[in-house]
Amino acid sequence: MKKLFAIALSFSFFYNCFSQDYENKVLERERNWDFFEGFSLGFLIQGQTKYPSPYYGPDVKGLYSDGAFHLILDFYIKKFLVGFQITDEYLYLKKTDDKGALWKPRGFNNSYSSLTRAYWLSLGYNFFKGLNFKLSLGFRKGPANSFIIDQDKDPSMIAEGFGYFNSDNGINQKRTSNSDFSESDFSLSINHPIRVYKRLGIVPELGYSFNYGGIISGLSIIFFNLSYEVEKEE
């Protein structure tokens, strides 16, 4: 019994020494990055609230009848934030060029919403006790292949009540339809990193996209740089 106790005590001693030594080495390496608070990965959803006028689509039955899904990556550098987003979009879009040609709705999400992709660059600033104000500038283009919906599925199988093969419908006529869509957009949001355990935390976010309305909300997982906290305390 005494031998087992001695072995357990010795194991505990060496384990603690090793763990402390390992943690000290990690902190020492991270001191070279003491300006870097951490980075986060997350997912946001957006519901469209502004529609073109006149509007010829189906009845809007809820906030997320048409919308978008954002995958986000943010880096926290002292009081600043730099981020990137890629967005799978199912917004109802309408755009007419100088010749009167109309962008053809693609018909996803049980609506006439278009299938577009947007890429965003975000810049932010920590202005009050961990609360970050974030401005994002995006470039939207389409058509695009969805990374959420089955790419082999035809729009007519998704949008109900729209005659994609009816030549009498002006939207289906090639001479009145644009095959490409592009524009810029921007959004404003706030987020707040919350530490959960040591390096790990969460970042709730709430924002608004301006071109088509759209309340944006979601959550990220943040990984903190521990040496950043040590540097602040010193």
Residue 188 confidence (pLDDT):
96
Q: Is it the case that residue 22 has pLDDT exceeding 90?
A: no
Cβ atoms of 145 and 151 closer than 8 Å: yes
- State the residue for tokens 């991270």: 30
Token pair recorded at residue 218: 């979601």
Residue 137 confidence (pLDDT):
96
Residue 78 confidence (pLDDT):
85
- The dihedral of CA 233, 42, 70, 139: what is its sign? positive
In the chain, where the domains are located = 1-33, 34-233
DSSP letter at 166 equals -
pLDDT class of 157 with cuts at 50, 70, 90: low
DSSP letter at 169 equals S
Cβ atoms of 231 and 42 closer than 8 Å: no
- State the residue for tokens 């040609």: 101
Residue 177 confidence (pLDDT):
61
Residue 100 confidence (pLDDT):
65
Three-state secondary structure call for residue 101? coil
Rounded distance, CA 167 to CA 117, Å? 28
In the chain, the percentage of residues whose pLDDT exceeds 90 is 31
Tell me the pLDDT tens digit for each residue of 160-216: 555 556 666 655 665 556 667 889 999 999 999 999 987 889 999 999 999 988 899
In the chain, the percentage of residues whose pLDDT exceeds 70 is 60
Tell me the pLDDT tens digit for each residue of 86-129: 999 888 887 777 766 667 666 666 666 778 899 999 999 998 88
Residue 18 confidence (pLDDT):
47
pLDDT class of 230 with cuts at 50, 70, 90: very low
Provide the CATH topology of domain 34-233.
Answer: Porin (2.40.160)
pLDDT class of 229 with cuts at 50, 70, 90: low
Token pair recorded at residue 196: 């959960």
Tell me the pLDDT tens digit for each residue of 37-84: 888 999 999 999 888 777 766 677 777 778 899 999 999 988 899 999
